[in-house]
């Protein structure tokens, strides 16, 4: 409610905010579904990260980590970009304003997807720290990037 009120007030001042929705589904560690206030179901691919696929090592752990962060909660996102599959590609922030993609990288539950997010240097720094601390998938001596794993399938 507070987020929606703030969005309305800022829009009156000419400032455009992201859309808000309640997370009703988590597909894997980088894709979720939100239900908007108008009851529209929207699938979102989190910008700047690539998480292990279901069936890949750490895939279920990554999905669970994202679920713990966002399931049943309000998030905001920007609906201006879509991927090849028609999903919205956006940064996602939880109701505390935290960057969900960054948190997933910090926990070692997703890779920094440098190819599509070169300017997100904080993501790269977070990944290096997670690697050093052997968090999540970085506990594996030879983790397989999702983009490499998909090519093998």
C-alpha distance across the termini of the chain, in Å? 44
What does the block give as tokens for 44? 């979102």
Q: Are 75 and 92 in contact (CB under 8 A)?
A: yes
Catalytic residue among 37, 87, 128, 145: 87
Q: Tell me whether residue 87 is one of the annotated catalytic residues.
A: yes
Specify the pairing of strand 88-90 against strand 74-77.
unpaired
3-state secondary structure of 18: coil
Beta-bridge partners for 99 = 93
Q: Tell me whether residue 53 is one of the annotated catalytic residues.
A: yes
Q: Tell me whether residue 45 is one of the annotated catalytic residues.
A: yes
Catalytic residue among 4, 37, 40, 45: 45
Residue with tokens 């009851």: 39
Catalytic residue among 37, 53, 114, 133: 53
Residue with tokens 């440098």: 114
Rounded CA-CA distance 110/141 in Å is 16
Q: Which residues are catalytic?
A: 45, 53, 87
């Amino acid at each position: 409610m507070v987020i929606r009120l703030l969005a309305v007030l800022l829009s009156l001042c000419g400032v455009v905010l992201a859309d808000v929705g309640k997370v009703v589904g988590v597909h894997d560690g980088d894709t979720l579904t939100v239900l908007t206030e108008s009851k529209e179901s929207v699938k979102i691919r989190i910008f700047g990260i690539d998480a292990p696929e279901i069936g890949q090592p750490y895939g279920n752990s990554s999905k669970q980590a994202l679920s713990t962060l966002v399931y049943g909660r309000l998030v905001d996102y920007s609906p201006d970009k879509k991927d090849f599959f028609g999903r919205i590609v956006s940064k996602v922030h939880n109701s505390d304003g935290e960057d969900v993609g960054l948190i997933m990288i910090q926990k070692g539950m997703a890779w920094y997807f440098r190819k599509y997010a070169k300017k997100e240097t904080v993501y790269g720094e977070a990944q290096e720290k997670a690697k050093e601390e052997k968090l999540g998938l970085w506990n594996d001596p030879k983790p397989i990037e999702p983009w490499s794993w998909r090519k093998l399938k």
